[in-house]
Amino acid sequence: MYRIITVLLIAFCSSFFSVAAGIGTTEALLIREAKKISDQLGDKIWPGISKIPFSIVLVTDSIEYLVYHPYPSTDFVLIGKDPILKEDVYQRKRIYNTGLLATFPAVSGVNCIVVGTIANTGRSVTDWMITLLHEHFHQYVYTQPNYYAGVEKLNLSGGDQTGMWMLNYPFPYDSISVINQYEKYSSALVEAVQVIGKKEFKKRVSTFMKEKRNFQRILIPGDYRYFSFQVWQEGIANYTEYKFLQLLNLYTISMEVKNITGYISVKKYVKQYYSSQLKSLEELKLPEQKRICIYAVGFAEGIVLDALQPKWRKKYLVDKFSTETYFSK
C-alpha cells in the first residue's frame, strides 16, 4: 500500500511540476486574467464573444501547451490540471515558431491563439495579456458562419490555400501615387480623431471620407478589397483591444497580476496604447511597414465610428470585410 501511494504521489507531483514548469506562473496568470476579462466584459463590445472557446497553444522553446480546447488532437498528451488555470493542460513537442502570435485553426480545426512566451514575443507583461484579447476577437470572427466562404469570394488568395496570402498579398506599397494618397487619407483620419466631441468633427470626417474615396480611386478593385479587408479584420481587432481597455474600469485586475514584474497599470497602459496607435497612423510608412500600417487605420476608423454611428458594431458581422457602409446611417 505504501508503495502504491508513493507511486501515485510521484505521478501527481510529476504532473503538477511539469505543468508549472511548462506554462510558467506568469503566462498562466495572464492567460487566466485575459479570459476572465473577456468572459465578464467581452459581450459589452461584441455580443456572443464570451461563448467562443479561448483555446490557446502556448509555444515554449521545446514544448507546446494546449489549454481551453474542446477536443485536443491525439498528438497532445494530457499532463494534468494547471493549479492556476484550474483546467486540463496538454503538451506536445514544439512545431510552431517560438515568437508566434496569431490565431488560426491550429488544433482539430479549432481556431487557437498560438502564442510564444512573453520573453520570446518581446512583449511587455500588460501588452502580452491585452493582445490575447485582440486574438480572441479573431477567434470570434473566424467562428462566424460563412466567414471562410466569404473570404474566398473576395478573390484575393491567388489560389493559396494556406492563408499566407493575407500576409503576402502583392499590395502596391511602393507606388508613389498610392503612398501620397495614403498619407492624405491617414492624416485626415488622425485629424478627425483629434476633434471628436468638437464642432468641427463632422467637417473633418467629411474630409477624411473624401480622401478615403480618392485612395480607393487610385487602386485597382482587388487591391482596394485587400486593404479594406485588412482594415476590417486587423484594424478592428486593434480597436477591440482599446475597447477592452476602456471597460477595465468595470473590472478589478487581480493582485497576482499587478505584482508581476513589468506590469503596467491599465490606467497608464490605455493612454500609452491610444497614443501609440495614433503615432503609428501618423508615422508608419507604407513602403517600410507595409500592412502593419493598416492596423492603426482600423483602430482610428473604429474610434471615429463610435462618435459618428454608435450602433455601427451591429453591422460588423452582417456587412463583412469592409468598414465602408458603417459610416452611413
DSSP state string for 83-124: TTT-SEEEEEE--S-TT-EEEEEEETTEEEEEEE-HHHHT--
Reading the chain (329 residues) residue by residue, the pLDDT tens digits are: 433 333 333 333 333 333 444 588 999 999 999 999 999 999 999 999 999 999 999 999 999 999 999 999 999 999 999 999 999 999 999 999 999 999 999 999 999 999 999 999 999 999 999 999 999 999 999 999 899 999 999 999 988 888 899 999 999 999 999 999 999 999 999 999 999 999 999 999 999 999 999 999 999 999 999 999 999 999 999 999 999 999 998 899 999 999 999 999 988 999 999 999 999 999 999 999 999 999 999 999 999 999 999 999 999 999 999 999 999 87
Alpha helices in the chain (DSSP H): 2-23, 25-45, 118-121, 125-142, 147-153, 165-168, 176-194, 201-217, 221-230, 236-247, 255-258, 266-283, 286-289, 292-308
Amino acid found at 297: V
Q: Report the sign of the C-alpha dihedral through residues 307, 313, 319, 320, in that order.
A: positive
Is the CB of residue 100 less than 8 Å from the CB of residue 41?
Answer: no
pTM, whole model, 2 decimals?
0.91
C-alpha distances in angstroms, 67 versus 79, 310, 312? Answer: 11, 36, 33
The whole-number pLDDT of residue 328 equals 84
Amino acid found at 228: S
324: Cα separation from own chain's centroid: 21
The whole-number pLDDT of residue 4 equals 37
Residue 111 C-beta-side C-alpha neighbours within 13 Å: 18
The whole-number pLDDT of residue 22 equals 53
CA distance 285 to 297: 12
Instruction: Give all strands of the β-sheet with 101-107 in edge-to-edge order.
Output: 77-81, 88-93, 63-67, 56-59, 110-116, 101-107
The whole-number pLDDT of residue 100 equals 94
Q: Which residue reads 495579456 in cell numbers? A: 129
Is the CB of residue 67 less than 8 Å from the CB of residue 78?
Answer: no
By three-state DSSP, how is residue 307 classified?
helix
